[in-house]
Amino acid sequence: MILLIEDDLVTCHIMTALLKRLRHPFVVAHNGAEAIEHVSKHPIDLMIADLMLPDMNGLDLIEQILVRPHLQDIPVMFCTAHADPKTVERALAVGAVDFVKKPLNVDAFAGRIERALKRAPARWESWREMIKRLRVDSRTFQPLLTLARDHVAELVQTLGKLKDGKATVEEVGRDELSSRVLRVRGASLNVGAIRTVQLIDFLWSGRGTPEDVSDLHAALVIELGAFEQALQSRSSQFFAASAAGGFGR
């Protein structure tokens, strides 16, 4: 999914029409606050951001987003009419993979979007490889995916209670908590949820510290959304597209 951060309605219309033509799912944020809300809920594969937003500078916004450990590898494209050398230099330092000047050349911009998406972290193992490994078809795979989704949802709920102070690690049990994390990792690995497995390995130290809990909760809220998208697709096309670098990434 692509996050488009743009407050100009004309530019937004042009960009959304292009994304529809390219068949990439997207969400739109018209300011920084909306962008932060979207990246906290949706599995974003690419951010396309304007520099001049109503409530904050686009560079400051992207820095604020990418400082989060589970979001730091999401590619960013800046698209703006303001492109002095210092701004471009700072954008590249922030981690931008491309910097596009307005007004847009739509056809050229389409190609740059496709190139940027290739930098997105893979979310799913290819459908073909998964079916070969598991020796199941799409109908028998669906219950496995549902089970994995349910395990993720259960862990998100537990971590949320810990993060909000409604429960403690001691009450849940450190070993029990680690066991639940490993259960989610195993279930995710079974269905080829590469991104979920990598985030667990990266964020979970096994000690159950407040940082562990907060970071993993934030990441798995997003991954739960990716599982829901996969279930709603109801076909192998979701996973085939991910293998080809399409919307399932």
CATH of the domain at 143: 1.20.120
In a domain, 43, yes or no: yes
Instruction: Say whether both 131 and 81 belong to one domain.
Output: no
Q: Into how many domains does the chain fold?
A: 2
- Structural domain for 43, as ranges: 2-117
Q: Average pLDDT over the chain, rounded to whole?
A: 88
Domain endpoint, select from 117, 149, 164: 117
Quote the percentage of the chain above a pLDDT of 70. 92
Domain endpoint, select from 117, 148, 167: 117
Cβ-Cβ contacts under 8 Å for 38 (sequence gap 6 or more): 3, 27, 29, 44
Is the predicted pLDDT of residue 19 greater than 90, yes or no?
yes
Domain endpoint, select from 94, 117, 140: 117
Distance between terminal CA atoms of the chain?
Answer: 8
According to the model, what pLDDT value does residue 24 have?
94
According to the model, what pLDDT value does residue 165 have?
94
In a domain, 249, yes or no: no
41 CB neighbour count, 10 Å cutoff: 12
53 CB neighbour count, 10 Å cutoff: 21
Instruction: Say whether both 101 and 134 belong to one domain.
Output: no
**What CATH code is carried by the domain that includes residue 27?**
3.40.50.2300
Instruction: Say whether both 136 and 81 belong to one domain.
Output: no
Q: Where are the beta strands (DSSP E) in the chain?
A: 2-5, 26-29, 46-49, 76-80, 98-101
According to the model, what pLDDT value does residue 93 have?
85
According to the model, what pLDDT value does residue 104 have?
86
pLDDT band, very low/low/confident/very high, at 234 (cuts 50, 70, 90): low
Instruction: Say whether both 136 and 94 belong to one domain.
Output: no
Radius of gyration of the chain (CA): 19
In a domain, 33, yes or no: yes
Instruction: Say whether both 113 and 194 belong to one domain.
Output: no
According to the model, what pLDDT value does residue 199 have?
96
Is the predicted pLDDT of residue 69 greater than 80, yes or no?
yes
According to the model, what pLDDT value does residue 128 have?
75
The string of pLDDT tens digits covering residues 81-134 is 877 788 888 888 888 999 888 888 899 999 999 999 999 999 998 877 777 777
pLDDT band, very low/low/confident/very high, at 246 (cuts 50, 70, 90): very low
In a domain, 122, yes or no: no
According to the model, what pLDDT value does residue 49 have?
94
Quote the percentage of the chain above a pLDDT of 90. 68
Lowest mean pLDDT among 2-11, 19-28, 141-150, 232-241: 232-241
Instruction: Say whether both 70 and 109 belong to one domain.
Output: yes
Lowest mean pLDDT among 34-38, 100-104, 156-160, 172-176: 100-104
Sign of the Cα torsion 68, 72, 74, 75 reads positive
